[in-house]
Amino acid sequence: MTSTTTPSTPSQSRPPSPDMDDSVSSQTLANYQFPTHRYKRQQTRADRIPLVFVACGSFSPITYLHLRMFEMAADFAKFNTEFEVLGGFLSPVSDAYKKAGLTSSRHR
């Protein structure tokens, strides 16, 4: 595993405005913005390397173990590495994936 030097705080992104439509149908490549406002802004330990988890998959349906996976990874990082977890994101496949039995992205 290689590490790179990163700032101690994540880059700023604007939080969504109250009138912003967060639904999947409103997202396009032109207006998409990664939701960095959802993760921790400050590290609690400056000597740690910031880390954000991303889990990709169909999540159809999302299960308790999908969520538990983040908790287990965060515990491992905290007690066994030099990383500090700032957040985690689930990245479900799009409806274009066309997997048999895949629930609509609106419901995942």
| pLDDT, position 24 | 59
Q: Could you tell me which residue, 73 or 24, shows the higher pLDDT?
A: 73
pLDDT at 82 over 70: yes
| pLDDT, position 21 | 52
Tokens of 27: 């997202």
| pLDDT, position 108 | 74
Question: What does the mean pLDDT of the chain come to?
Answer: 80
Instruction: Over range 14-27, report the average pLDDT.
Output: 57
List the domain boundaries for the chain: 50-97
| pLDDT, position 34 | 78
pLDDT at 56 over 50: yes
38: closest CA among 28, 24, 59, 52?
Answer: 52
CA distances from 72 to 7, 42, 47, 68 (A): 25, 22, 22, 6
Please tell me the distance from the alpha carbon of residue 22 to that of residue 13, in angstroms, as a whole number.
Answer: 15
CA distances from 79 to 6, 75, 76 (A): 21, 6, 5
